[in-house]
Amino acid sequence: MKKILSIILILLSINSYSQVGYWTAYNFQVEEGSEELVLKYFNEYFSNNKLAEGVTVSLFENHFKDADWNFSHQILFVGPLDGLAAQYSTAPSDAWSLFILKMNRHITLHSSFMGDIDISYGNGATKDFPIQRVISLEANNPAKYLQAFKKYNSKYNKADRLILTGGFSAGIDRAYGNTWIVQSFKDFKGAFGGHAKLPSKYSPEEHRKAWMESRKNNGGVELRRSFLRILLATY
């Protein structure tokens, strides 16, 4: 399989965010025994080389995965339109070329795709919510889906979860859906228990009623796939 030629990606730092952002993702397989080296190269390069304004980059381990999305690691860059465009427009430096050369000795590219961020709710930095459940789904009516998502999460998203949603714009088979959700938690207890088990100022009954109303009014969605990733480093 063709090796990575370039990894310029994006993932924004997540604070209560209600403006569109953009991202790209590269998924790859790390050769067994090379995991620490790949993390070392990632940290060395991005701790010493500035990203475009507003852009962040993160390295994840793909921890729970299915037979098709069986890559071991993922790199994401996230940022605003101008920042992401600037990041991709920057001419490769000698340091970047060396970084890619080192990485290519230990990885095999699995897939890559890109998309946008429509909505985010939650307070805190990405590094504080390292356990992330990623879900792709088919929204029958994206406008109704987003309206229902906003109505529920703007009030009922709990303090111990960051949640984002958006769409895909390139690089993904339509069979995988047209919409994605990322739910980020502080630890595995939160990720395993899910949103329903986190503490809230609202009663479980109120949450349940609001959630059922959201499902009723979201235009219909179908789960296509999911995985759980662990944040290893972010800049």
Domain membership of residue 102 (yes or no) is yes
Q: In which band, very low, low, confident or very high, does the pLDDT at 10 lie, cut at 50, 70 and 90?
A: very low
11 within some domain = no
Structural domain contains residue 164: yes
Domain membership flag for residue 212: yes
Rg of the Cα atoms in the chain: 18
Specify if 51 maps to a domain: yes
Q: In this structure, are residues 56 and 11 in contact, taking their beta carbons and an 8 Å threshold?
A: yes
- Beta carbons of 10 and 78 less than 8 angstroms apart: yes
Q: Count how many Cα atoms sit within 13 Å of the Cα of residue 65 in the half-sphere of its side chain.
A: 16
Q: Quick one: average pLDDT of 116-137?
A: 94
Query: Is residue 46 domain-resident?
Result: yes
* Number of domains forming the structure of the chain: 1
Is the separation of the CB atoms in 3 and 29 below 8 Å? no
User: What's the mean pLDDT in 172-199?
Assistant: 95
Q: What is the pLDDT of residue 18?
A: 43
Q: Say what the pLDDT of residue 58 is.
A: 98
Average pLDDT score, the chain: 91
Is 135's pLDDT higher than 90?
Answer: yes
Two tokens at 213? 């109303």
What CATH number has the domain bearing residue 156? 3.30.70.100
Q: What is the pLDDT of residues 188-232, one digit of tens each?
A: 999 999 999 999 999 999 999 999 999 999 999 999 999 999 999
Between 69 and 117, whose confidence is greater? 117
Q: Which two tokens stand for residue 174?
A: 């339509």
Beta strands in the chain (DSSP E): 21-30, 56-64, 73-79, 107-121, 131-139, 161-170, 179-185, 221-234
Q: Flag whether pLDDT at 41 surpasses 50.
A: yes
Q: Using CA atoms, how far apart are residues 181 and 136, in angstroms rounded to an integer?
A: 6
Is residue 227 in some structural domain?
yes
* Range of the structural domain that residue 225 is part of: 21-234
pTM reported for the whole predicted model? 0.89
d(CA 228, CA 63): 6
Residue 59 lies in a domain: yes
Owner of token pair 């953009």: 22
Q: Is the pLDDT of residue 15 over 80?
A: no
